[in-house]
Each structure stands twice: as structure tokens, then as C-alpha cells.
């Protein structure tokens, strides 16, 4: 019997992939910045058109003052309405233990 290891280690190469999967090469970041989503997924669709802000995309109009309208809001009544909504169980979707808070948390988790 030989005292040497039967596995040929000379042919092994070090993985260049951060995922340690040799089929998925690691992206090459530019030297002047960290990696971005564009490095990992370079074939993304062009979405800049979604950021166009014109009067057509503003349903409130040019003269709408958000701060002024928010000041008109009765925050205490809104709080009461939210509490009423969360604690009034419906026959068509019964609240867990009389409160919809757990459902809201689960739905938020699924939406994330």
C-alpha cells in the first residue's frame, strides 16, 4: 500500500465564484465602486420610464398641498377606525383570537 493520498490534488483549481458554484461566475465589479444589482443581473429591463414625473402622473394636480391636507386629518378618529377594523371579526373571514393583527403581519411578510 502507498502512503500517499489517492486523490490528485494538482488539477484542482480555486473557485472564483462567491457562490462557490463553478457554473455561476462571480461578477467583476468596477474598481471604483462596490457591486450593484446591475453587476449581478446585467440584463435588467430599462425601468427609467417609470420614473417620469409629469402632470399626467399626478392625480392631485399642481395646486395640491399635501401638508395642508394632512393637517385636516383627524388622526385620533383614524386610529379609532383602524382599531375598530382590526378587532371587528367578520363571518366571511374570522379574526384569529378576535384580532386581525396576525393576519396583517402574515400578509406583510408574504408581500416582502
Question: Using only C-alpha atoms, what is the Rg of the chain?
Answer: 28
Residue 48 to residues 33, 45, 72, Cα–Cα distance (Å): 21, 9, 35
Among candidate residues 9, 51, 53, 110, the one labeled active-site is: 110
51 among known catalytic residues: no
Instruction: Report the 10 Å Cβ neighbour count for 15.
Output: 13
Active-site annotation, residues: 110
Amino acid at each position: 500500500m502507498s502512503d500517499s493520498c489517492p486523490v490528485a490534488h494538482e488539477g484542482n483549481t480555486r473557485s472564483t465564484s462567491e457562490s462557490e458554484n463553478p457554473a455561476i461566475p462571480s461578477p467583476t465589479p468596477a474598481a471604483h465602486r462596490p457591486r450593484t444589482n446591475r453587476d449581478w443581473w446585467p440584463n435588467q429591463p430599462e425601468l427609467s420610464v417609470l420614473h417620469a414625473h409629469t402632470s399626467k402622473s399626478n392625480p392631485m394636480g399642481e395646486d395640491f398641498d399635501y401638508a395642508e391636507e394632512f393637517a385636516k386629518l383627524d388622526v385620533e378618529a383614524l386610529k379609532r377606525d383602524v382599531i375598530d377594523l382590526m378587532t371587528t371579526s367578520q363571518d366571511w373571514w374570522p379574526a384569529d383570537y378576535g384580532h386581525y393583527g396576525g393576519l396583517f403581519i402574515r400578509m406583510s411578510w408574504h408581500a416582502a
